[in-house]
Amino acid sequence: MRLAAAYSAGMADHSITRYLADQGGDADPTETAEWRDAFQALVATQGPARARFILDQLAVLARHPGVAWSPELVTPYVNTVPVEKQPVFPGDLAIEEKLASLMRWNALAMVVRANTAYGELGGHIASYASAADLFEVGFNHFFHARNDKQGGDLVFFQPHSAPGVYARAFLEGRLTQEDLAHYRQEISAPAAGARGLSSYPHPWLMPDFWQFPTGSMGIGPISSIYHARFMRYLTHRNLLDCEGAGSDTEKRIDKRRVWGVFGDGEMDEPESMSALTLASREKLDNLVWVVNCNLQRLDGPVRGNGRIVDELEKLFRGAGWNVIKLLWGSDWDGLFARDTTNALVRAFAHTVDGQMQTFAAKDGRFNRDNFFGQDEELARLAQGMTDEQIDRLKRGGHDLVKIHAAYDAAAKHRGQPTVILAHTKKGYGMGAAGQGRMTTHSQKKLDDAALLEFRNRFNLPVSDAQATSLAFFKPADDSPEMRYLHARRDALGGYMPRRETACDVVPVPAANTYAQFALQAAGKEMSTTMAFVRLLGTLLKDPQLGPRIVPIVADEARTFGMANLFKQVGIYSSAGQSYEPEDIGSVLSYREALDGQILEEGISEAGAIASWTAAATSYSVHGVAMLPFYIYYSMFGFQRVGDAIWAAADQRARGFLLGATSGRTTLGGEGLQHQDGSSHLVAATIPNCKAYDPAFAGELAVIVDHGMREMLVEQRDVFYYVTLMNENYANPDLPEEARDGVVRGGYRHASFGDASASRRVTLLGSGAILTEVLAAARQLAAEGMAVDVVSVTSWSELAREGRACEEQAKVPYVTQLLAGSGPVVAASDYVRAVPESIRAYVPQGRRYATLGTDGFGRSDTRAALRAFFAVDAASIAKAARFAGA
């Protein structure tokens, strides 16, 4: 169907690119030309503002249902910043190009050397080859470092481009040649007097270097959004000014920003895209993403049969972002200027990414024949250009001037986050060995010919022998390039990435002052969730600690009985509260405020954990120690966002995760998807996570108190995972002498029966199942046994200490705790593997039986569920008898 006919039939495809591709479908070109001329005259005589106004008026008419027109979100495949709006490049182009070439070379040499020596080490060349210029313009002109005078920018680097960041740090004198030679060899490096360089950005492994772990795709993007939002939170709560002093435009350009360079393939991760609307809703103009659109991912094209740039443009624009397309380099400017009939844009509209990749992989001759050879108009444009010139036509993401123009526009943009869609070639400059090849992502080796070709391609000042022996190259300290490199970083505040650790000590009040209700509960009935909420409410009132607390919820505050905090400390809202809440008169009123303290993330566990990570690393990223408490349904933590928690651990997060409504039988009615029997198993695998499953309010208070001291006062890089239950039962006083055991993972809670009885048993239990253990103890005591009950507060801490003691040939704490005779029976509301984790440390000669909740959860009463999973008092007593008690 011709386009005009399609329009009249009301079936129009509004795509501009389609329109351009199908211009022949115009039923009345004369009439069309009149409309076009009229519009151009309007722009010329009245100016663009008036033209926009008229278009808005027409758009109102066009949206009439009978016409059913709406503007499409995709614009033609050209640069967003027009040539005439490009600022003058403020640097020395020749030197910057030379430096970029050196970075490329050293990065490549690092990966190829490692793999020549040890083929198993892996690494990537092609990704940084495509991203080098995007990084370099940032390093030379935009990425501010933190120092005494400024907070600095946060920069998220594409993980598999890490070699490029190391290559730069080498030229800056922050890493040595030996260090580069130990890329991905962290264990063997120290013996050679070098520091090993981690595969990807890992703060855990390089704690003075990397800030943000990005190696698991998707986590970097979402994390950058929540870091940007958290900076606003710090500003609005008057804890730290991240917006920059003064209100004049020039000053505000220097405000702190979050920059992220991500892959176009990475945008397919659900996490990458899931918080886009949060960023625009919050008007995060302190956030700039650069999506490196090299059109390829690992296996092949990101969108072989479509265009990823178009797709991302639509998505981001629809989500309310400012989109800047950075598609073509300066040498295309002349071609576009001569292209009066839009032949190029039409040709691009036909060219899907799979084809664009082929053009990237082939030489100038091929491109002349197959791209410019498509029609006469295109062929005419390429006339006068040599094949070599055609081959060297740059994509926008490889042109420093164009990149600078895009970054500059992004930095000046107000009121929206910006995404720069940067068109690049994967494996840029790797020639036949890799540029645009399907297999380029995993290319780790280059033969001599390819190395020499690369050397020539980038005019590197290395001899044949140096090139083929993969010698690292660093210009003399007093060379113009090196002076320039240092001067640029100096102007931007110093070198980066650099991770800081210095932060203030936040005093923690004595537990007796705020947790008496829990420590001396005197039999009061409450759930550990209630106890936690009460603790939190009191801590929030502490003049020094209170303001540093960040309560985080994912739409479940009411479930956990926290609604009173809405009124007490308010819900953070960058817009304040522009409506009168329905429940305004209530003490539980839903109060939103600019300086509100609670981060209410809505139903996004991925967002909430990203928020938690931003707060939990504020001590390092901002030098302001914050203490986040993120409380959620425990099943939707490690199981749902475990990878994000792993990344937070890598980032050395400090804070509390509260897995509420936990346990497979304690949350009776919710069934299979909600009942958590495994989070403690996963938590135990994270080295800096201390996981607790307290049974009583007093235990919880001791754990929270100890955690706060470890994190805020001793400043240790640990975080706490504490499970909370919604079962109400009587809470005993916690004896002073039990506190140490609570922290270590368990203590002798009670003894039953005749202490001199010959039939003996020790029962272990954690969390709500301790109540079943106590009931079983009474039954067994009534049968004439001597029963000891140990309250296990942390299986994983007991096991961890056990392992450490074994290595040092010491007797583990848990072994001492279980000294005695008769069998030991352990029960928990988690899978059996959790209590099994301490088996190796049970004293020799004592039989050890474990009860847990393996299998799918289901709905019923607590009693029915506990009987079903055999973790109720009767089953525990039975197991004790069976074990020989």
Ligand X SMILES: Cc1ncc(C[n+]2csc(CCOP(=O)(O)OP(=O)(O)O)c2C)c(N)n1
Residues interacting with ligand X, by CB under 6 A?
127, 130, 158, 160, 215-218, 263-266, 292, 294, 296-298, 302, 426, 441
C-beta closer to ligand X: residue 127 or 662: 127
C-beta closer to ligand X: residue 218 or 431: 218
- For the CB of residue 126, give the shortest distance to ligand X in the complex, in Å: 7
C-beta closer to ligand X: residue 214 or 731: 214
C-beta closer to ligand X: residue 239 or 438: 438
Q: Which long-range contacts (CB under 8 A, 24 or more apart) does 851-855 make?
A: 851/825, 851/826, 851/827, 851/875, 851/876, 851/879, 852/677, 852/827, 852/828, 853/663, 853/664, 853/665, 853/677, 853/828, 853/829, 854/677
C-beta closer to ligand X: residue 76 or 215: 215
**Residues in Cβ contact with 752 at an 8 Å cutoff, skipping those fewer than 6 apart:** 777, 778, 780, 781, 786, 787, 789
C-beta closer to ligand X: residue 266 or 717: 266
C-beta closer to ligand X: residue 292 or 850: 292
- For the CB of residue 93, give the shortest distance to ligand X in the complex, in Å: 25
- For the CB of residue 312, give the shortest distance to ligand X in the complex, in Å: 12
CA-CA distance, 388 to 130, in Å (whole number)? 20
C-beta closer to ligand X: residue 158 or 791: 158
CA-CA distance, 523 to 513, in Å (whole number)? 20
C-beta closer to ligand X: residue 127 or 528: 127
C-beta closer to ligand X: residue 163 or 364: 163
CA-CA distance, 824 to 192, in Å (whole number)? 50
Q: How many CB atoms lie within 10 A of CB 187?
A: 8
**Residues in Cβ contact with 796 at an 8 Å cutoff, skipping those fewer than 6 apart:** 680, 683, 684, 690, 691, 745, 837
Q: What would the two tokens of residue 502 be? A: 């210095």
**Residues in Cβ contact with 395 at an 8 Å cutoff, skipping those fewer than 6 apart:** 327, 328, 329, 423, 424, 425
Closest CA to 637 of 694, 680, 688, 670: 680
**Residues in Cβ contact with 308 at an 8 Å cutoff, skipping those fewer than 6 apart:** 264, 267, 293, 295, 302, 353
- For the CB of residue 171, give the shortest distance to ligand X in the complex, in Å: 22
- For the CB of residue 436, give the shortest distance to ligand X in the complex, in Å: 11
- Asked if omega into 497 is within 30° of 0 (cis), the reply is yes
- For the CB of residue 353, give the shortest distance to ligand X in the complex, in Å: 11
C-beta closer to ligand X: residue 266 or 408: 266
Helix or strand (DSSP H, E) at 796:
helix 795-807
- For the CB of residue 291, give the shortest distance to ligand X in the complex, in Å: 9
- For the CB of residue 266, give the shortest distance to ligand X in the complex, in Å: 4
- For the CB of residue 637, give the shortest distance to ligand X in the complex, in Å: 18
C-beta closer to ligand X: residue 396 or 493: 396
- For the CB of residue 422, give the shortest distance to ligand X in the complex, in Å: 10
Residue in the block written with tokens 């209590």: 835
- For the CB of residue 129, give the shortest distance to ligand X in the complex, in Å: 9
C-beta closer to ligand X: residue 298 or 682: 298
- Yes or no: say if 261 and 135 are a contact pair by the CB < 8 Å rule: yes
Helix or strand (DSSP H, E) at 740:
helix 739-744
List phi, psi (to 5°) of 824.
-120, 130
- For the CB of residue 123, give the shortest distance to ligand X in the complex, in Å: 11
Q: Where are the alpha helices (DSSP H) in 47-92?
A: 48-62
Distance of alpha carbon 560 from the chain centroid: 27
Closest CA to 388 of 460, 331, 447: 331
CA-CA distance, 497 to 155, in Å (whole number)? 8
CA-CA distance, 128 to 454, in Å (whole number)? 14
- Yes or no: say if 661 and 667 are a contact pair by the CB < 8 Å rule: yes
Q: How many CB atoms lie within 10 A of CB 299?
A: 10
- Yes or no: say if 660 and 679 are a contact pair by the CB < 8 Å rule: no
C-beta closer to ligand X: residue 651 or 850: 651
- For the CB of residue 634, give the shortest distance to ligand X in the complex, in Å: 23
Q: What would the two tokens of residue 234 be? A: 């710090």
CB-based burial, 469-508: b 16+ in 10 Å, e otherwise: ebebbbbeeeeebbebbeebbeebbbbbbbbbeebeebeb
Closest CA to 884 of 749, 753, 752, 780: 780
Task: Please identify the residue of the shown chain whose CB is closest to the bound ligand X.
Answer: 263
- For the CB of residue 134, give the shortest distance to ligand X in the complex, in Å: 10
